Structure 1
Amino acid sequence: MRLRHIEIFHAIYTMGSITNAAKILHVSQPSVSKVLSHAEMQLGFDLFKRVKGRLIPTDEAEMLFDEVDKIYQQMRSIKNTAENIKKSEYGQISLACSPALGFDVIPTAIAKYHQKHPQVNFNVQTVHNDEVMQTLLEHKCDLAILFAPNIMPGITSMELAQSELVIVYPKANFPDCPSELSLSQLIAFEYIDIGDSGPLGDLLWTRMMQDNITLESLIKVQTYFIAARLVAQGAGICVVDRFTAEGNLSDNTAIASFNPPLTFAVNALYLENKSLSKVSEEFLPYLIEKFAAVSS
Structure 2
Amino acid sequence: MRLRHIEIFHAIYTTGSITNAAKLLHVSQPSASKVLSHAELQLGFNLFDRIKGRLIPTDEAKMLFEEVDKIYQQMCSIKNTVQNIKKSEFGCIKLGVTPALGFDAIPNVIANYHHDYPNVTFDVHTIHNDEMMQSLLEHKCDLAVLFSPREMQGITQTPLAESELVIVYPKEMFPDSPATLTLSKISDCKFIDISDSGPLGDMLWTRVMEEDISFQSLIKVQTYFIAVRLVASGLGVCVVDRYTAEGNLSNDIAIASFEPALTFSISAVHLENRSKSKVIEEFIPYLTHGVSIS
Regarding TM over 0.5, the answer is yes
Higher mean C-alpha deviation, range 235-244 or range 19-28: 19-28
Q: How big is each residue's C-alpha offset from its partner over 1:244-276, in whole Å with a ceiling of 9 and x where there is no partner?
A: 101111221111122333222211122222222
Aligned CA distance change for structure 1 residues 68 and 128 (closer, same or farther; 3 Å): closer
The CA distance in 2 between the partners of 1:61 and 1:262, in whole Å, is: 64
Question: Equivalent residue of 2:41, what SS?
Answer: helix
1:27 deviates by 1.8
1:180 aligns to what? 180
1:20 aligns to what? 20
User: 2:121 aligned with 1:121, yes or no?
Assistant: yes
The CA distance in 1 between the partners of 2:68 and 2:211, in whole Å, is: 66
1:212 deviates by 4.5
The CA distance in 1 between the partners of 2:196 and 2:68, in whole Å, is: 47
1:163 aligns to what? 163
Higher mean C-alpha deviation, range 42-51 or range 207-216: 207-216
Aligned CA distance change for structure 1 residues 38 and 154 (closer, same or farther; 3 Å): closer
Q: How big is each residue's C-alpha offset from its partner over 1:97-154, in whole Å with a ceiling of 9 and x where there is no partner?
A: 2221122212222233234434333333233334434443454432221112333333
Identical amino acids, percent of aligned pairs: 70
1:209 deviates by 4.6
1:41 aligns to what? 41
Aligned CA distance change for structure 1 residues 41 and 272 (closer, same or farther; 3 Å): closer
The CA distance in 2 between the partners of 1:196 and 1:18, in whole Å, is: 54
Residue segments in structure 2 that go unaligned for 5+ positions in a row: none
**Normalised TM-score (structure 1):** 0.89
Aligned CA distance change for structure 1 residues 244 and 27 (closer, same or farther; 3 Å): same
The CA distance in 1 between the partners of 2:64 and 2:130, in whole Å, is: 43
2:248 aligns to what? 248
CA contact 2:81–2:139 (8 Å) conserved in 1? no
1:198 aligns to what? 198
The CA distance in 1 between the partners of 2:50 and 2:200, in whole Å, is: 69
The CA distance in 2 between the partners of 1:68 and 1:8, in whole Å, is: 11
Aligned CA distance change for structure 1 residues 92 and 55 (closer, same or farther; 3 Å): same
The CA distance in 2 between the partners of 1:257 and 1:128, in whole Å, is: 24
The CA distance in 1 between the partners of 2:257 and 2:171, in whole Å, is: 15
Question: Equivalent residue of 2:276, what SS?
Answer: coil
1:88 aligns to what? 88
1:61 aligns to what? 61
The CA distance in 2 between the partners of 1:195 and 1:101, in whole Å, is: 19
1:141 aligns to what? 141
User: 2:283 aligned with 1:283, yes or no?
Assistant: yes
2:271 is matched by which residue type in structure 1?
Answer: L
**Normalised TM-score (structure 2):** 0.90
Higher mean C-alpha deviation, range 79-88 or range 7-16: 7-16
